[in-house]
Amino acid sequence: MGGLSICADIANEFKDRRSFGQVDLTYFNAWPEQNRGYNSLPDTAERIRVFNAALVAIEKLNPDLILIACNTLSILYPQTPFAGTTDVPVVGIVDFGVQMVYEHMVATPDSQAIILGTLTTVTSETHKKGLIEKGIAPERIIGQPCDQLATRIESGPGEEAVGQMMDGFLTEAAAKIDRNDAPVYAVFCCTHFEYAWDLFDHWLGHHIGDNVTILNPNTAMSSYVLDQYPEGRVAETNVTLTVLSRITWHDNKVIAIAEALSTVSPLTAEALKNYRQDPELFTF
């Protein structure tokens, strides 16, 4: 459900920018099985195989553009057979995160960055490798996996259990930081983390101090899409949004995330509440 925060931004801004008379958005949930996501699959080869099946199904919807609004799946994408055969433009979120962090770290040469994400995202070191390739010293980049935090956030971004998990993860992250009072960038390398921004802000301040700035690549991805089109071309834009899922989302998750989305995009919140569940959405 993390990518819905990006979807909400895009839906809201397309309406305001008035680039087209009609914009049709589809949010395709690529979660494979009811109680097992990609991080629970046995190995990378199986993750690639399953995600490739989802991409093949997405292409059948005839999209103009595919956004992979998930860091874990963006890391897998280049290894899928689909990546070598599709004619549809595909954009992953990882490159936006790397570029955002790079620009901030170049501007503050004594800074450090904490890569916060799922176990798969952080242990792959994809963001770290991308930053090193751009010239950032490896010791300035700290990886902090937050295993299962995204799943917990879905059940309620403000719940006490979410804060307890953050407390533990950020205690670990703080121990890895070079304590020199230099700027620290905490990077949301999981799209879910935006929903729990206030809690992150609290626990980051508690464990690291006032010199922490949160960087959220979600906004960079939505801006990328919107900036491709000129503003004010039409008098009004009608936006439709369909949410598709192979699995059934528990009611408490739908209610919690819809509430978090409602202030940004009521359209997205309503589409989530009325999502279409199809066990045959993709097969593998």
Flag residues of the chain having pLDDT under 50: none
pLDDT tens digits, 155-206:
999 999 999 999 999 999 999 998 778 899 999 999 999 999 999 999 999 9
Measured CA to CA, the distance from residue 193 to residue 2 in angstroms comes to: 7
Query: The sheet that has 238-245: what strands, in order across it?
Result: 22-29, 238-245, 276-277
Q: What is the pLDDT of residue 79?
A: 96
| Helix ranges (DSSP H) in the chain | 4-17, 44-59, 71-76, 94-107, 119-124, 126-133, 149-154, 160-176, 197-207, 217-226, 251-262, 266-273
> What does the DSSP 8-state code read for residue 36?
B
pLDDT tens digits, 103-129:
999 999 999 999 999 998 999 999 999
For the chain, domains (ranges, CATH) are: 4-92+220-277 (3.40.50), 94-218 (3.40.50.1860)
Q: What is the pLDDT of residue 194?
A: 96
Q: How many CB atoms lie within 10 A of CB 189?
A: 30
- Phi, psi (deg, nearest 5) at residue 90: -125, 130
Q: What is the pLDDT of residue 20?
A: 95
Tracing tokens 């940004």 back to the chain, one arrives at 264
The tokens describing 276, both together, are: 């279409």
Q: What is the pLDDT of residue 35?
A: 84
Q: Give pTM, 2 decimals.
A: 0.90
